[in-house]
Structure 1
Amino acid sequence: MTTYPHRLLLLLAPLSVGCGSPESPPPTPAAEEAPPIPEGAERGAERPPHAPEPGALVQGTLEAPEGATGAAVFVSLKIEGQPGPPLAAKRLPPGPFPLSFTLTEADRPMAKGPVPDRFQLKATLDADGDPMTKGPDDLEIVATTDKGTADLSLILAPRAE
């Protein structure tokens, strides 16, 4: 059998191109070129603290007493004193607390007309996970707030009978 060492060299030659010295990474911008981080914000944050999320009707944080448990948290918006379905509603996991929430136009199951500038917000830590039942172990809060509120802080408590 005849060997052809020069053919082997021709096959390996293209593999060795560029292997002599490692390519250096692109230069990073100097610290003075980086934009300043607003006070209270973290790098990569999309908006300053307490700034409303785009399209948010309301957003905030729910607190619950230590050891509080339930199957789900329900947050809903209604026009105060008017019967009927909520303007917006969302089911959230039952903690951990503090629990952040945001209701947007996407949370309006039966969107009819614009959302008023002022509405009633109800949040419930529901023991059985069914928003249609009311139990003695449910915790809730009802508050009137303005559309676009971004820093609502609410504390869940036993329902008033």
Structure 2
Amino acid sequence: MFKNFIKNNNLEGNITMALMVFILMNYNMIWNYGLANYPAKKVLIIYPFSFILVFLVKNIVSFPMTRYIHRSKLIKNKDRVHITFPLWIIIINSLICLGLSTYLTHNYPVGHFYSSYAFYWIRTIIVALPLFFYLVRPQVRFHLSNVKKFFSVSQSPS
């Protein structure tokens, strides 16, 4: 049963997404409240809802939209799909999810929704892209490949 779980093609993406949501949520909470007033209980309560929101937005909106962009003639160089595909998904997901969370939490001064939203999105995307490409995805791939080797699960070429 565990070997079947590890063989799942979506496992790497789901683990990566879960880590990205957790890290970025903590980053935003520390930015808003400071390290001294960090609301750990609030993070643990909000995290499952945040992950479900990002998962749904990715599967319903950003993944189909990104797949359409890559299948169309909008992207000329198809050799860099391993970079452009997650790049588009992160950008679209963060646009939608940060907009929803900014609106629902009223985390903006009265009458300044759009400027606050733009500020939060730019601040988050500046952290999210290097975090994904240089830390989270390589670490998830490394550890998942080690787990697959340990349990002798054949890997599909990626």
Q: TM-score, normalised by structure 2?
A: 0.29
Report which of the two has the higher share of helix.
2
Q: TM-score, normalised by structure 1?
A: 0.29
Report which of the two has the higher share of strand.
1
